[in-house]
Structure 1
Amino acid sequence: MKINIRPMIPADKLSITKILHNTSEFKPAEVVVAEELIDSYLENPAGSGYHILVAEVDSAVAGYICYGPTPLTEGTWDIYWVVVAPEKQDQGIGSALMKSAEREILKAKGRLAIIETSSTPAYEKTRRFHISHGYEMVACIPDFYAPRDDKLILRKRLAK
């Protein structure tokens, strides 16, 4: 299977929106936020503060990653979303997206990548994915999203 990673274009929006809506881990409000970031990027890719790469398999969009520089920092970047279509998971697509984004962050003189995620069981697979790619948990804010739903902050040093 060949995975093609490239910048998002407007024609990708419908496919990505379908993937978001078909991903059971996401609450409706989370999908709205993801769509807002996509719209911001598509309206002004260079000035939005967001970067979006898509993964194509057999000429069809199979997932995407959204990331951007963290304001008021030196070389710190946030990875906001890594999403792969449920039927395409566990095939290396998420890993290809993550590696591509990290390469782009390094090219832009990035030194740290930060991921924020939920502590709920629904996000266990997501947390394992990030840890398997070298991210370590550096902070936990108890009850951040809701009672018994902590905010976990993961970090990876990209530049030595």
Structure 2
Amino acid sequence: MTQTGDTVTWLTQEAYDQLRAELDHLSGPARVEIAKKIEQAREEGDLKENAGYHAAKEEQGKMEARVRQLTQLLQTARVGEAPADTGVVAPGMVVTIAFDGDDDDTLTFLLASREFATTAVETYSPQSPLGSGVIGKKVGQEAEYELPNGSKTRVKVLEAKPYQA
């Protein structure tokens, strides 16, 4: 997943192929489709009050932003294997932590780029305060990270397993 500095994005082959397919679709068939929508809306007349035209232009803008995002991400991607099941927190792992030594107050999350957010488990970026605090820690180790209000909190890594889709 993304690392600051060199801006390298580590991806599994499956994730790379999925993102490449999305980019190919958006920069090919989807572009043609949105251009047709814009042209059809333009033919309806007055563009100032043409909601269809404005909606299509907004959709085009969002799509082009996604194309740029995917292009940049794939240009910096390094394809590799999913992380090994070593009990060491790394991108691509589902991590369970306990807050301030209270083993009942836990959070389980996927440590990954937001590109891989899933509805099955919450996703935290490796660059987030929590993500950067726990990365490299072993099961049983504690980590400290800074909260948005500037105070610090401690967590204990209870589990770190490779994500299984």
When the two structures are superposed, what TM-score results if normalisation uses the length of structure 1? 0.28
Higher relative contact order (CA 8 A, sep 6+): 2
Structure possessing the higher radius of gyration over alpha carbons: 2
